Amino acid sequence: MKIPYTYSALRYVHDITTGEFVNVGVVLYSREARYASAICRSTFGRLSKTFPGMDGDAFKSQMRFVQSRIEEIGDELKKELPLNGHPASVVEVAHAVLPPDDSSLQWSPPGSGLAENLSQTLETLFERLVTRYDERPQQERRSDDEVWRKYRRSLESRHVLKHLQSKKISVQDDEVEFQYAWKNGVWHCLEPVSFDLSSADSIREKAHKWLGQLLSVKDTKEPFKVYLLLGEPQQEALRPAFDKAVSILHRLPVDSEVIREDHAGEFSEKFAREIEAHEKKG
């Protein structure tokens, strides 16, 4: 059965006078399914090329805020009884997070449609409205963000996303920033890593890159654990190179787990149980 929904794109307007904008996110809402969720950019490379001088750190912080707040609204909708009243359309959901004003973030006029899978439809809208014209390195087939969206679906269904935040793991002369982390005494850092590349050399180089990055912060004073959420190559000929990359990652000098795509559901279930157990103790 197809479910009606409404959606709106989030626009970054660099100069209010000229009105030039770039889509940076999408929110989707279905009153019937009591569903609300959003996907926003986690990077700003394309925007910084289009609008030199933008504050990248502030932009990423705004994107995390918008996405997490809408995900919280989605969780609240699932828990509330219908008698409490639900938003009539995506406009109410969007404006509850970012009211209309003269800031650089603006909502587009709403659109609507019918879908069997709302989460998948949200991803499709994000790719069509936000990332369609992104430049991609020639050797890259799926980006880290695209791999994240596969794991994200599984985590979202278990109400994990609202617990995640960004975290920098630092030492005196270096740091690694994780966009998705949760703390229960130890920082649990989730990192999507795409190995869907076009050559064995690029796969090996990316594995060694992560080995080096985590080696550089292994002496941090904050305890942390890294979960590398892998995206596998689509080319069968690159499977041996991927298997070698996984072996390299198993030698990481920090507490870590390496998760393959076919274990996304199992990992999400385990992670959700840990969060639930921690919440009950608190």
* 193 in the same domain as 267: yes
Domain that holds residue 128: 3-135
* 205 in the same domain as 87: no
Q: pLDDT tens, 164-196?
A: 999 999 998 899 999 999 999 999 999 999 999
pLDDT band at 84 (very low <50, low <70, confident <90, very high): low
* 274 in the same domain as 179: yes
Of 135, 164, 186, the last residue of a domain is 135
Residue 267 pLDDT > 60, yes or no? Answer: yes
* 172 in the same domain as 109: no
Residue 276 pLDDT > 80, yes or no? Answer: yes
* 198 in the same domain as 163: yes
Of 102, 135, 168, the last residue of a domain is 135
Residue 282 pLDDT > 90, yes or no? Answer: no
* 170 in the same domain as 124: no
Residue 233 pLDDT > 80, yes or no? Answer: yes
Share the mean pLDDT of the chain. 89
Q: Which pLDDT score is estimated for 19?
A: 74
Average pLDDT rounded to a whole number, residues 243-255: 95
What 3-state class would DSSP assign to 243?
A: helix
Q: Which pLDDT score is estimated for 140?
A: 60
Residues 228/191, Cβ–Cβ less than 8 Å: yes
Residue 22 pLDDT > 60, yes or no? Answer: yes
Q: Number of C-alpha atoms within 13 angstroms, CB side, residue 79? A: 7
Average pLDDT rounded to a whole number, residues 36-61: 79
pLDDT band at 133 (very low <50, low <70, confident <90, very high): confident
* 67 in the same domain as 11: yes
Is the C-alpha dihedral spanning 144, 146, 147, 149 positive or negative?
positive
Give 218's DSSP letter: T
pLDDT band at 266 (very low <50, low <70, confident <90, very high): very high
Residue 184 lies in a domain: yes
Residue 10 pLDDT > 60, yes or no? Answer: yes
Give 133's DSSP letter: T
Check which CATH number belongs to the domain holding 213 and give it: 3.40.1350
* 23 in the same domain as 116: yes
Residue 209 lies in a domain: yes
pLDDT band at 61 (very low <50, low <70, confident <90, very high): confident
pTM over 0.85: no
Number of domains present in the structure of the chain: 2
Cβ neighbours of residue 80 closer than 8 Å, sequence gap 6 or more: 34, 86
* CA–CA separation, 179 and 61 (whole Å): 10
* 64 in the same domain as 178: no
* 36 in the same domain as 83: yes
Residue 127 lies in a domain: yes
Percent of the chain with pLDDT over 70: 94
84 vs 176, higher pLDDT? 176
